[in-house]
Every structure is written in C-alpha cells, then in structure tokens.
C-alpha cells in the first residue's frame, strides 16, 4: 500500500507541475490544489485506497465528508480540482478511467429573496395612494 501511496503522491506532484508549466497556474492556486489533493489522498488512505484506484463511490464519500464542514462553493472547487487531477491521470494513462466523470457538482443554495421592512411597504402604499387614477390603485 505504501508504494501505491508514494506513487499517488508522485502523480500529485506531476499534476501540479503540469498546472504550472502548461497552464501558468499561480502559486496560490498550486498551494490550494496541493492542500485539496493532500486532504483527498489522506481521506482515501484511511479507506485503504489511493487516487490511483479510487472509484466514483470513494469520490462521493469524500465529497460527503466535506459536506457540512465547508460551504457548497468550497466543495464545488474541490470537486473541480479532483476532476482536473483525475482527467490528468487518465490522459497520462496512469488510470484507465475517470471516477469523477459521473459525479454532479454540489448545488449552491439560492439566496432567500430580499423582503421589505414594514416601513418600506407603508411608504410604497402611501406613494401609490398619492397617484391619481389607475396608477394609484
């Protein structure tokens, strides 16, 4: 298991190097992706898996592990990182599949509508009553 864990760590480093070399990723982006992937790898190792052999259920379990600990936007960003990493592993023929391909992004909750205070409603009603004709109705 340790050799596959070591190999996964090497693949993470290769992925991060590719982001810098081919995409010009900023240092802060690389640092965030490294933290995300290290957390993902640690989670998988506790389940006796690695990013090199994790299936879609393991990825879903990881996302479930994040839910409640982080905002939906953070979970979506982490899933984006995992998708890019697994696409990289597939493109480099390290893996024969991409376990993130069938996973939906976390849904952001729609914000509640803004409501008017009672004084604002009273002001609207007074303004409407001040108008003549149908506009005042």
Residues making up the chain, counted from first to last: 137
| Cβ atoms within 10 Å, residue 78 | 22
Which pTM was predicted?
0.73
The C-alpha angle with vertex 78 and arms to 77 and 82, in degrees rounded to 5, equals 120
pLDDT average per 10 residues of sequence, the chain (137 residues):
73 96 94 96 95 95 92 90 96 95 74 84 86 76
The contacts of residue 29 (CB under 8 Å, 6+ apart) are 19
Q: What is the pLDDT of residues 103-114, one digit of tens each?
A: 887 666 667 778
Which string of b and e fits 105-132 if b means at least 16 CB within 10 Å? Answer: ebeeeeeeeeeeeeeeeeeeeeeeeeee
């Amino acid at each position: 298991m340790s050799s596959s864990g070591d190999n996964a760590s090497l693949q993470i480093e290769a992925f991060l190097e590719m982001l810098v070399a081919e995409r010009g990723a900023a240092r802060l982006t690389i640092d965030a992706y490294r933290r995300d992937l290290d957390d993902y790898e640690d989670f998988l190792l506790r389940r006796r898996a690695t990013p090199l052999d994790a299936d879609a259920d393991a990825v879903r379990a990881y996302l479930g592990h994040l839910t409640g600990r982080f905002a939906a936007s953070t979970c979506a960003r982490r899933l984006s990182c995992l998708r890019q990493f697994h696409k990289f592993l597939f493109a480099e023929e390290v893996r024969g599949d991409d376990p993130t391909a069938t996973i939906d992004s976390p849904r952001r909750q729609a914000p509640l509508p803004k409501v008017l205070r009672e004084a604002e409603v009273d002001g609207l009603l007074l303004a409407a009553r001040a108008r003549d004709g149908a506009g005042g109705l």
